[in-house]
Copies of this chain bind each other. A is one copy, B any other.
């Protein structure tokens, strides 16, 4: 079905009417000049984050299903709210849609957003929908509450550096998807060169080699935000001194925390959590797995620091790894290699969309 058959207001109604408001604080959602939110002051302060996703820059619809994209677009925002020790409550979604998209495509995208909103208890309360000249544009703003927001600037010397889950898998998933995309085009082009439809031969079926790599694909295509880790920290009464989520790579994020907190750090290569599939895939691609974990990005894990006194408490929480400690600023920021003999200065090689 063509989008123009609905028109702007009809389309918004069609896409959003399945989203019922769940949160008490969501007083009024889609349908007026503004959404209206009534936060209970006892729940803390309001936190706001926003992410812009552009086709061809942040996602490739060749291998990213629209439902997954909708889910991920929401989750990356929720992740920023959890990274403040907050709870996401509302999102607004703005879309720029080119003519090649049909209503059914948007239904898929919104099905993913609805799933994310249901899983994380978030309400869709507003947005803007427009035609675009080229490609798909998704801009999401997420609003949440945080009783005592945790910033990036509170890390102190001797604090322990912790990270949730494992790192580098999403990046390896992306490499895998890119490899299979190239292989598919190769196979298709070979067939075209041999005459294509005129050859009388059907195009050979292309089977991407994803077997046993499901975890890597899931980490790239359908990441989760660490709501569970924030809940466990709260339960244990642990208030991190600094926290952020790992979206640009561990190295880049550690540098943010250190520069904003005016401290240095030492992390241990052997302590960096890496999944088995990540390691196997890195070897297959002949990549250094530590480099992938340090600079890959899109992990959406939580990186945080806690006072040394909480060492025992933090080690009792599953899914959290101690990877190092904060130092005086003058000691700089470095990783101690696996053999324990050398230090490598951290560099922000994280994703930079403005690079050539």
Q: Which residues of A contact B (CB under 8 A)?
A: 3-4, 6-8, 11, 27-28, 31-39, 41, 45-52, 54-58, 80-81, 83-84, 86, 90, 92, 94-96, 125-128, 130-135, 137, 139, 141, 143-144, 146, 149, 151-153, 243-245, 260, 352-356
Contacts and interface: CB of A to CB of B under 8 A. Distances in A.
B37 A245 contact: no
B50 A128 contact: yes
Of the listed residues A6, A37, A245, the one surrounded by the most CB atoms of chain B closer than 10 A to its CB is A37
A126 B92 contact: no
B33 A45 contact: no
Contacts of A3: 354
A196 B143 CA distance: 56
Nearest to A58: B130
21 contacts: A4-B354, A8-B353, A27-B45, A28-B149, A33-B49, A33-B80, A33-B84, A34-B80, A34-B83, A34-B84, A34-B86, A37-B47, A39-B46, A50-B141, A52-B128, A52-B130, A54-B130, A130-B353, A134-B134, A137-B139, A143-B143
Contacts of A244: 32-33
Nearest to A135: B133
A141 B144 contact: no
Nearest to A10: B354
A211 to B, nearest CB: 33
Contact of A354 (B11, B52, B137): B11
Contacts of A133: 54-57, 134-135
A222 B25 CA distance: 35
Nearest to A243: B33
Given A52-B94, A132-B54, A133-B134, A245 B33 contact: yes
A260 B9 CA distance: 13
Contacts of A146: 34, 36
A252 to B, nearest CB: 9
A152 B32 contact: yes
A215 B91 CA distance: 38
Nearest to A353: B131
A86 B37 CA distance: 13
Contacts of A95: 52
A260 B31 contact: yes
Given A6-B354, A52-B95, A354-B3, A38 B32 contact: no
Contacts of A139: 50, 52, 94, 137, 139
Contact of A46 (B36, B80, B134): B36
A42 to B, nearest CB: 10
Contacts of A131: 57, 353-354
